[in-house]
Each structure stands twice: as structure tokens, then as C-alpha cells.
Structure 1
């Protein structure tokens, strides 16, 4: 445990960006473009799902909520990162750092739980098709949604309360966004126990939801393999393609970052992974929805054709 006078830290300075100052204009343009495309793509998905009767299904309902989460998730980090690229003094208040960190983990946890719920929806649709309309009705969907948010709130709140009560003796944060691992490095006490607790909680949330999802798809694949026709195989797999892709990206990137012990020894790796999780993944998701989900792709094609026809008529 460190000894000495502990002063109250009211703000932090993000120190991971100076090495990139020579190309910060280029980074700003790329990040701004990425953020704009992410917001636009996910808004289009939400608009299509809520306006087209063909997409009024439980799976598309959850897809729209996932798009909404992606917008919130990238908004938590990207605007502050863009601001840091524009100004020389890259500071953030203690309250602001804690708030951004909380919503970063809270929204990420909601997404994991929601992905597990979506796997259950696919399980019911393929393995229990006769019971699917009865069980996965609008009332069930509306009940599952607040359950995702409540579960995330409870799992993230306790470790964040612990972090806010730690004494901090340095203001420099070796990162370009708000995260727990770099914050623990500037604490005035030994944080090994807290890192272990964070590791256990991260593993519990990520691996438990992944296990549930993997179990659902085990039953789904075994059911699909029993379908006699090749066309039936392809149709069944096409209904799961977008979700499987989302699961692979989300769990793959986050497991490498958060389900590892000794987090403070891998900050350079975490910086790269943070870009993937908070910037790249939300950008890819709407394209995955449109390219892998046949219903969304069909409705998107029809909508684009209607818009083109309307423009041609007016011209």
C-alpha cells in the first residue's frame, strides 16, 4: 500500500493522445465520419423496423433495441474523444470520468444480456415453432427488455461505487477514454483485490451470457441438422446468420479485453481493443443486420427503390 499525503483529485488528464498529435486532424475526420455513419446506419435500421409491417417480429424488435444501444454506446465515448483531438488540454472531471465509465460498462452489459435474449428468441422460433407465437408475444418482449436493463444496472453499480471511494494520488490517465483499468493504476492503494473482483464480475456477465447463447445454438443447430431438405437448412441458418455474426464480434473482442486478470499490465492492448469495441463494432452492426438478415435486406431494398422512384417522378 502506498504511503504519503493523498490529495483529493477533482479532474484527470488523458495522456494517451499526445503521440498521435501529428495525425490528429486525420484521426478526427475518420472518427467523425465513423460516428456519423454509425448513428445514421442504426437510425435507418430502427426506422425500417418500426415503420414496416414485415419487420414487426420479436427478433426485429430486439434488433431495433440493439441499434439503439449501439448509438448510445458509441456516443458515450466518441464525442469526448473527438473533443480531445481538438484541444491541447485533455482533461475530464472526476465526476465526468466516473459517469462515462459507468455508462460504458452499463450499456455494454445490457448488450450482452440482450444478445442472450435474442438467442432464446431464435431457439423458440426454430426448435419450438408451434409455441413461438404464444411465448414470444409482445408482452413477453416488453417484459424481457427492462430485465436486460435491470440486470446490467445491478451488475455494474457495485464495482463502480467501490471505484468512486478509492483515493487517487495522480491525475494522469494513460488512456484516451474512460475505463476502470487505467483508473486503478492511479489509485494510492493496492488494487489487486479490486482487479480480481472486476475480473470475476466481467467473467460472470460475459461468460454466463455466452454460455446461455452457446447452449441455445447447440439446440438450434441440432434441430436444423434434422431438417431433411437443403433448402430448409439454408432458410433456418439465414434467420440466425446476423445474430451469430453479432455474437462472434461482441464476445470475441470483449473477452480478450475484460475476461483477463492483471488488467493494469495490458493497457496498450486495451487501447487498441477499445477502438474496436466502441467505434468499429457499432459501425459494423447495421451493415450486418442489412446484409445477413433477409427480411431487413428485402425491406431496405424496397425502401430504396421507392425513394428512387419518388425522386425520378419529381424530376
Structure 2
């Protein structure tokens, strides 16, 4: 850490009045419970249903883990501050939020998922050989490793700065508003942050684009309309998640800190840190028949298991 005299930061709430703060608490609680339920059901369905023990759903399981981690990094602290009518977060806690938020961003995993769809559609006969269990685990471990390196570099550079102000105009510790508080020269840190974000987003977008260009060419060559529809349906959910994630992420981070707008970007950050982890399970379950069936079986099994309790017999 740097030689900052700041021992804690103050996170500003969305509203000044207590009534609006409690309203935001209820909204945040609803979003958090919905994300926990949706991603928890995805985790349970993929882990317990042997029909989903395939590379595609193995990656989906890891995406659900990242979503749960991302929303759990920011939201519980924000809700606790609202509930106890405080704004404080420790210096170390703020650094931990930045690290885990950057680490849990699923760019590399989304690129891996695009590669998986590329192999499945463009090389279906070799798919079981190429996407072996060992190779899938290796791809996921590599994505986690690259994310960890990115998070470590950015956190070290950001919290090596000196801070003269402790008031963060945000409900969690995000990179751009923290850089605004520094009283030291942030040119190198800005450059490192912008470079890391650019390399991360551009490299993964290129891999996703190349994968889907090849997928599009393969789908175009299919003579059967039913085959085209089936091939496209396997990619629709992932494409939707990619479009939402990269649209908001690029708007937030592919800019120098001087162009940062507190009011607009606070709303965007709510969307990509809270709404996306809540929406991802919905997107995948609505567009995927296998996931819907697995979720139905999981919910039915959990519901009927209540009959083991002496005073509850739903089935």
C-alpha cells in the first residue's frame, strides 16, 4: 500500500433521506436474493444433473460462480451501510473490493465459452476429443489466472497512490472514482488501468468475434433451416450476455479518468455489477431448453424433499 494518510473511505449513498435509503435497501435486497436464487439454481442443476455434465454447462457453472462472487463483493457492504446508517469502509476493505471486482469480471470465461461454441458447431466430430475434461479445466484455470494477474496489477498500482480525500461518490469502491481521490500524480496509474482494460476487453472481444465469424460461416453453409435454427439457438444466450456485458464494460472502463461522469456512470455500474449477475441465469434458462428442464427437475426435487420434515408434506 502507498503512504496515504487515509485509513478508511466513505461511500456516498444514492439518496440523502432515510426513507429513500431504505427503499434502495429493499431494492438491493430483492436484486441480491434474485441473483442468489437464480445462480444457485444454475449451480445446483449443473452439479446434480448428469445430463448437463458437458463442457458447455461446466463453463456456465463457472459463470454462475463469478456472478455470485461479483454481486457478493459489492452489494452486502452497501446494504449493511444503508441498514446501519453509515458510509465507512476500511482502506483494506476497499482494496479488497477493487481486487475481487476486477478478478471476478468474466471476460476471459466468456471468450472461453465462445471458443467452446466454435468447436461444437464448426468441428462437431472432434468436439469430444478437443474439449476433454482436462482441457476444459485447463481453460477455466487459465481464465482465472489471467484475471488474477490483471486484478493484482491494477490493485497494486491504485493503492500505491496517496489519497487526500476519503469520500467516494459511489456505493462501492470502483476504480475511476478512487483515482479521483488521489493527490499524487495518477498518470502512470491511469495508463496502467486503461492499458489493462483495453488489453482485456479487446483481446477477448477479438477471440469472441473470430469464433462467431467462423460459426456464422458454418451456419450459413448449412442447407437445412432446422439445422441453422438449432445451431443459432445454442449461441443466442451467450451472444446476449456478451452484448450486454461488453456494452456496459466498454462504456465504463475504455476511457481516461478525466472523462469519468459520476452521475451517469453510477447508474451504469449498478447495471453491470448488479443487474447482469441477476439476469444471466434468466437469459440462459429462457433460451435453453435443457437448462429449463434441468431447473424444473431441480426445483421439483428440492420441493418434494421437504416431505422429509415432520410438519411439511408438499408432495
Return the TM-score normalized by structure 2.
0.92
CA deviation map 1:77-129 (0-9, x unaligned): 00011012123331111111111111011111xx1000000000000000011
Q: Which residue of 2 aligns with 1:70?
A: 67
Match of 2:46 among 33, 49, 52: 49
User: C-alpha displacement at 1:207, in angstroms?
Assistant: 1.5
Alignment-derived partner of residue 127 in structure 2: 132
What is the rounded CA distance, in whole Å, between the counterparts of 2:87 and 2:132 in structure 1? 49
* Correspondence 1:100-179 to 2 at 5 A: 100-108=97-105, 111-179=106-174
Rounded to whole Å, the distance in 1 between the matches of 2:239 and 2:184 is 42
Cα deviation, residue 309, structure 1: 7.7
| Residue aligning to 1:3 | none
Does structure 2 retain, via aligned residues, the 8 Å contact 1:73–1:278? Answer: yes
**C-alpha separation between the residues in 1 aligned to 2:278 and 2:251?**
20
User: Across the two proteins, how many residue pairs are aligned to each other?
Assistant: 308
- Alignment partners' CA distance in 1, 2:133 and 2:49: 16
Which residue number corresponds to residue 230 of structure 1? 225
Distance in 2 (CA, whole Å) between partners of 1:59 and 1:137 is: 11
Is the alpha carbon distance of 1:263 and 1:281 closer, same or farther for their aligned partners in structure 2, counting shifts above 3 Å? farther
Alpha-carbon spacing, 1:147–1:19, altered in 2? closer, same or farther (3 Å): same
**Cα gap change, 1:132/1:16 in structure 2, threshold over 3 Å: closer, same or farther?**
same
Question: Larger deviation: 164-173 or 92-101?
Answer: 164-173
- Match for residue 34 of structure 1? 31
**Aligned partner of 1:249 among 232, 244, 253:** 244
Q: Deviations over 1:24-62 (max 9, x none)?
A: 111111111110110111010111111112111100000
TM-score under structure 1 normalisation? 0.92
Alignment correspondent of 1:291: 286
**Shift of residue 226 of structure 1?**
0.6
1:202 to 186, 197, 200: 197
Q: Measure, in 1, the Cα distance between the counterparts of 2:300 and 2:5.
A: 60
- State the superposition RMSD in angstroms: 2.0
Q: Indicate how the Cα distance of structure 1 residues 7 and 194 shifts in structure 2: closer, same or farther if over 3 A, else same.
A: closer
Asked if the contact 2:41–2:295 (Cα under 8 Å) also holds between the matched residues in 1, the reply is: no
| Farther off after superposition, 41-50 or 155-164 | 155-164
Task: From the superposition, tell whether residues 90 and 164 of structure 1 become closer, same or farther in structure 2 (CA, over 3 Å).
Answer: same
Q: Do structure 1's residue 282 and structure 2's residue 277 form an aligned pair?
A: yes
User: Unaligned 5+ residue runs, structure 2?
Assistant: 308-312
Offset from partner CA, 1:225-259 (integer Å, 9 cap, x none): 11101100111011111111111111111011111
